[in-house]
Structure 1
Amino acid sequence: MNSNIYNLCQMNKQSSPIDSLDQVPVALLAVYSNEDIKLLNKEAYRLFQEEQLGGMPALDSMIQKDIVGIQPNQKTLSSITLADKTIPVILLASEIQNSETSKIVSVQPIQQELDIHEVNVWRNVSTLFCHKLGNIITSLDIFSSALSQGLPENQMHLEGVSIEQVMGDILNSTNKLKLYNHALQKITYQPSPRFQKINLNWLLGTVNDICGELCIEHKITLVTNLSDSDLEIQGDLVLLQDALIQLVNNAVDALANTTHGKIELNILHTGQGKAVINIADNGPGIPQELIDKLFLPLYSTKGHGKGVGLSTVRQVIHIHNGTITATNNKNGGALFSIKFNCSRSSQSNM
């Protein structure tokens, strides 16, 4: 990456170096000898959410210190704080030989890599836990069955407690363990996707059709806004439909106590081969302290939930080399955003 950045910086110096740098798919910053920092390409503009190129990004003191202090050919881990969100990034510096700029620093977000690592850790832990839990369940089944069948009639009560009642409690506890074991097995399951070209407008249209009846039943308005561009991705239709339907179902649950509930689905083409699918509602939103926990396996905001749904959704998105984030809308309600690599569709069907 260092040599590529340097080469691009040397291209078209007399015409438009910024146009050349826009070819780089990571954010680039110029660090001047007086320690000023400026944005260099469109990816930097998107990452730092600045209004114009060449402007001074609003940096917190920690990453500004990291960017100024990094040496050429050095790589370091840092983070960007934007609004209420912290984004982990890797910084990589390249020295530029001219009178003004001392170096160029690339800023690469790594949240997706961290999320994938986290999922793999949870999968390994869950596999081990499933094995141990399965052994306990088997032992309880055998013990309770043998105990209930082996006791004579005159010993079915002990100190005023019915043995049948005790056996019922054991069986109920065993069944609960089986449910949690099943939930853990779902976490450890790695689906084998069948990739095909999928038109995103068509995909969102099918989700609208499938979820429409449920929304009508709960008196919720479902609005779907399709993209003006025909965008397509390589994906597994069933897995993606299930993931999006899960998110809509979660939104329906969140709107249980909201009058005039509304769920909005839309597709945005952000340029440079990226598309975003948003699922938004006007419910109570997500408590700030829970946002970072939503996608953890076995974590649920529902009293009856097993904490499998959103972790499975994230796993499906990662299989498709995408990312998913959860935030709150400025006007209230939750917003789930899924970003994919995409291309323009050559035809309008699936």
Structure 2
Amino acid sequence: MVYKNVKLNVLFRLLILMTLIGMLMYSAVVLERYLRSVYMVVFIVLASIEFLWYVDKTNRDLGNFLLALLHNDFTTRFSGSHKGKSQQHLYSSFNAINDKFRQLNAEREVLFLHQQMLVQHVNVGIISFDSNGKIHLFNDALKRMFQQPHLHLRSINDLAKINPELLKTVQNIKAGERQLIKINLETDLLQLAIQATEFTLKGKYFKLISAQDIKGELEEKELEAWQKLIRVLTHEIMNSVVPITSLSDTLHLIVENQRNSEEPISDKTMTDIGLGLEAIHNRSKGLVNFTETYKNLTRIPPPRFAKVSAQELVERMQTLLRPRLEEAKVPLLVDVPEEDVFFLADVQLIEQVLINILKNALEALEEQDHPHITLNVNQSREGKTLISVKDNGPGIPPEVLDRIFVPFYTTKDEGSGIGLSLSRQIMLQHKGSLQCSSAVGEGTVFTMSF
């Protein structure tokens, strides 16, 4: 509508100019009235000036409007009073567009302030920097964490003032990774979980780092783990100490009675003493073996990382366990991608973990109808290599599932209770994880994540 009105105004002025020029030609050539022609020339000049002013005024106002948009200045108002109807429509449109942009800008500022408030009030330290190391954002939680309320960070290298290890970790950590570091402050020890993500904004690279002090959570979990371990250790030790104490009391009583008796020691008494001493010896030997097992649990060698082929690893597992699988008549179903999956690991330690899990699955299927085990290899969306062992056994009750990784906890008559605990420690050394999910009557799945 505005464009149409402006167009009509321009056409109207052009029509007037053409009419004046026609009248000038008629007056000068046909009527030969030169004085009137001079007046006509003056009118034509004035009409041309007005026409140029009108066009220039419209262009100038349009230019000012576009410049205001370019500089995010939405406060400019265009007045159409004392002007033609078309100009009023044009300026009203300018003002309406300005109002809309001002509203959008206000909403964007509110959203930005809301996001800033969220960033500043979360209890996780956040820092963002570009490819040149220039810091664009860090929140108050970071200041509180390092006990420096007046902390100012301009470059990522400024983190070296807090702790050189922190700077090294932030620079080297990759997107999706999670690393744990310890930082000693003057009055406290921080145990930080560092995570990173990377993104590109308007063609510019950024890395976003989050840091959370998990010391309290670790101490709570550590206390819980110690309590579970102490309960298991107490149970195992008392199972040996109580019979030894009881037998030693009995043997002591037999010896005292024999000492006070004038009768010679009988063969039966000697047999009882011999059996008692043998039982004490066996239980004592069991305690020694138990402590040796505990020592071995804490002496896992550091992994020697190398490139591992998932297909070759699975083939070795099939070869190693084929005799036992055939004896138990349990098929091992293998699901491996056609394109081989490679990951970094200590292949000997990982084979130890897999053998332990597969043997546990076999034992769980001893009385199961139509038993089978599935060995699966795949990769997650985050690029993690996942190896899972699934059986269709009876499943693990929830109260047992909570304890299966506790050292020396076992539900087997002849089990040591260290296999799964050892396996999880090996996976932690690989910066991975070992998880178990199970449902009674549906089976169990152990998943190794690298």
Which of these residues, 195, 202, 213, is aligned with residue 312 of structure 2?
A: 202
The whole-number CA distance in structure 1 between the counterparts of 2:338 and 2:218 is 33
- Structure 1 segments unaligned to the other structure (5+ residues): 1-31, 38-65, 77-88, 93-103, 341-350
Task: Give 1:268 shift.
Answer: 1.1
> Do residues 323 (structure 1) and 390 (structure 2) align?
no
- Structure 2 segments unaligned to the other structure (5+ residues): 1-109, 124-138, 145-191, 196-207, 253-257
The whole-number CA distance in structure 2 between the counterparts of 1:176 and 1:255 is 29
The whole-number CA distance in structure 1 between the counterparts of 2:294 and 2:385 is 32
Matches within 5 A, 1:160-199: 162-199=272-309
Aligned to 2:327: 217
Mean Cα deviation higher: 165-174 or 187-196: 187-196
Greater helix content: 2
Bigger radius of gyration, 1 or 2? Answer: 2
The whole-number CA distance in structure 1 between the counterparts of 2:333 and 2:429 is 27
Task: Give 1:181 shift.
Answer: 1.9
Which of these residues, 374, 383, 394, is aligned with residue 284 of structure 1?
A: 394
Task: Give 1:186 shift.
Answer: 2.2
Mean Cα deviation higher: 257-266 or 192-201: 192-201
The whole-number CA distance in structure 1 between the counterparts of 2:420 and 2:400 is 13
Task: Give 1:290 shift.
Answer: 1.9
The whole-number CA distance in structure 2 between the counterparts of 1:156 and 1:296 is 48
TM-score, structure 2 normalization:
0.44
CA deviation map 1:259-292 (0-9, x unaligned)? 1101000111113331100100000111112222
SS in 2 for 1:266: strand
Structure 1 166/265 Cα, relative in aligned 2: closer, same or farther at 3 Å?
Answer: same
Task: Give 1:221 shift.
Answer: 1.3
Task: Give 1:230 shift.
Answer: 2.3
Aligned to 1:74: 141
> Do residues 300 (structure 1) and 419 (structure 2) align?
no
Give the residue type in structure 2 aligned to 1:254: A
The whole-number CA distance in structure 1 between the counterparts of 2:362 and 2:119 is 44
**Alignment check: 8 A CA contact 1:157 1:163 kept:** no
> Do residues 246 (structure 1) and 356 (structure 2) align?
yes
Mean Cα deviation higher: 249-258 or 182-191: 182-191
SS in 1 for 2:447: strand
Give the residue type in structure 2 aligned to 1:268: N
Structure 1 105/233 Cα, relative in aligned 2: closer, same or farther at 3 Å?
Answer: closer
Aligned to 2:34: none
TM-score, structure 1 normalization:
0.55
CA deviation map 1:306-347 (0-9, x unaligned)? 21110111111112111010002698100001110xxxxxxx
Task: Give 1:216 shift.
Answer: 1.4
CA deviation map 1:19-70 (0-9, x unaligned)? xxxxxxxxxxxxx96xx99xxxxxxxxxxxxxxxxxxxxxxxxxxxx99962
**Alignment check: 8 A CA contact 1:276 1:338 kept:** yes
Task: Give 1:159 shift.
Answer: 7.3
Mean Cα deviation higher: 297-306 or 318-327: 297-306
Number of matched residues? Answer: 237
Task: Give 1:166 shift.
Answer: 1.9
Task: Give 1:90 shift.
Answer: 7.2
Task: Give 1:193 shift.
Answer: 2.7
Greater strand content: 1
Aligned to 2:92: none
The whole-number CA distance in structure 1 between the counterparts of 2:222 and 2:301 is 17
